[in-house]
């Protein structure tokens, strides 16, 4: 995994880390204490994620990389700690279970901010704007909601793509992750797959096409355990920094393949184009 170190810490941040260290590693709740950032493992920022979800999280040369992981790496850099990546099912990520059990400090897996999830997780400021996309075999005439009537539509369970498909009355087939969705599309088990459009572009070279984009107004956020305001403030501080110093634009371009288009929230807009750095 990518680990980053900060050689010199600002005084306030150093004080926060000292307070966190005083809490000891036995407190794995992830709660903020004494105004400092407490971590489930001393010296490490542990992130739960669910690859394959390229370009946000995926395996490359035995490591989990991607835009989400790189952003978490910047948070760790500002905290002066390393990054530990844990691969877990998306259900435990979006439900808050991984955070509540102390499995990780932060969840980062292309998680759309929704009211339902906000009841279980405290979200950072949004860092990415996303819509739903439709992945179909090349040459398919499935390019609208109407065309999908009576077809089997693969969705990733517990995602907003699944919710969108259900809301539109489509016949869905659930899969645990994006990789299984695409494999089912290859073998003809499903007629089309719905997922966030930014993760579908890398499959265009494999005999598929993104035939439609459905505007949903979705935005991604990083999640922490409810009440963990110290870590949440640190994450938002990092998001502010990387937007201001150009780091975000550089990371976006590296993993998405195009420069980000600005939005009213300061987040970036999804692109269906594959990244040149994709493996």
Is residue 2 a part of any domain in this protein?
no
- C-alpha 227/C-alpha 232 separation (Å) is 9
Is residue 5 a part of any domain in this protein?
no
CATH number of the domain within which 76 lies: 3.40.190.10
E strands, the chain, are 44-49, 58-60, 63-65, 82-87, 106-107, 121-123, 128-137, 152-156, 171-175, 192-196, 208-220, 223-225, 268-269
User: Which pLDDT value is given to residue 234?
Assistant: 98
Is residue 6 a part of any domain in this protein?
no
**Secondary structure of residue 42 in the 3-state scheme:** coil
| pLDDT tens digits for range 132-168 | 999 999 999 999 999 999 999 999 998 999 999 999 9
> Same domain, yes or no, for 47 and 123?
yes
Interhelix angle 247-256/229-244, rounded to 10 degrees, is: 80
- C-alpha 42/C-alpha 23 separation (Å) is 10
Q: Select from 217, 234, 255 the last residue of a domain.
A: 217
Instruction: Please report, rounded to a whole number, the percentage of residues in the chain having pLDDT higher than 70.
Output: 81
| pLDDT tens digits for range 25-62 | 334 444 433 348 999 999 999 999 999 999 999 999 99
> Same domain, yes or no, for 116 and 225?
yes
> Same domain, yes or no, for 187 and 225?
no
269 contacts 263 by C-beta, under 8 angstroms:
yes
Q: How many domains would you assign to the chain? A: 2
E strands, 1-109, are 44-49, 58-60, 63-65, 82-87, 106-107
**Secondary structure of residue 177 in the 3-state scheme:** coil
Is residue 248 a part of any domain in this protein?
yes
Is residue 92 a part of any domain in this protein?
yes
Is residue 96 a part of any domain in this protein?
yes
> Same domain, yes or no, for 139 and 24?
no
Lowest-confidence segment of 12-26, 67-81, 104-118, 241-255 by average pLDDT: 12-26
Measure CA of the first residue to CA of the last residue in the chain; give whole Å: 16
Owning domain of residue 19: 11-127+221-269
239 contacts 127 by C-beta, under 8 angstroms:
yes
> Same domain, yes or no, for 15 and 71?
yes
Pairing of strands 171-175, 223-225: unpaired
> Same domain, yes or no, for 26 and 103?
yes
Q: Select from 198, 217, 236 the last residue of a domain.
A: 217
């Amino acid at each position: 995994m990518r680990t980053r170190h900060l050689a010199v810490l600002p005084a306030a941040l150093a004080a926060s880390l000292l307070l966190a260290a005083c809490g000891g590693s036995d407190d794995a709740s992830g709660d903020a204490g004494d105004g400092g950032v407490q971590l489930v493992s001393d010296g490490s920022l542990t992130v739960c994620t669910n690859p394959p979800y390229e370009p946000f999280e995926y395996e490359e040369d035995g490591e989990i990389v991607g835009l989400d992981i790189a952003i978490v790496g910047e948070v760790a850099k500002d905290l002066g700690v390393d990054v530990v990546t844990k691969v877990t099912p998306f259900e435990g990520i979006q439900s808050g279970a991984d955070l509540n059990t102390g499995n990780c400090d932060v969840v980062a897996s292309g998680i759309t901010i929704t009211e339902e999830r906000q009841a279980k997780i405290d979200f950072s400021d949004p860092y990415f704007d996303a819509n739903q996309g439709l992945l179909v075999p090349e040459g398919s005439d499935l390019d609208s909601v109407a065309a999908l009537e009576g077809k089997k539509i693969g969705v990733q369970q517990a995602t907003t793509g699944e919710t969108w498909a259900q809301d539109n009355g489509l016949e869905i087939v659930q899969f645990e992750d994006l990789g299984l969705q695409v494999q089912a599309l290859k073998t003809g088990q499903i007629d089309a797959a719905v997922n966030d459009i930014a993760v579908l572009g890398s499959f265009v070279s494999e005999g598929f096409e993104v035939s439609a984009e459905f505007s949903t107004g979705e935005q991604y956020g990083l999640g922490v355990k409810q009440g963990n305001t110290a870590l949440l403030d640190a994450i938002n501080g990092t998001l502010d920094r990387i937007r201001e110093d150009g780091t975000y634009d550089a990371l976006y371009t590296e993993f998405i393949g195009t420069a980000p288009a600005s939005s009213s929230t300061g987040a970036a807009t999804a692109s269906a184009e594959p990244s040149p750095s994709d493996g």
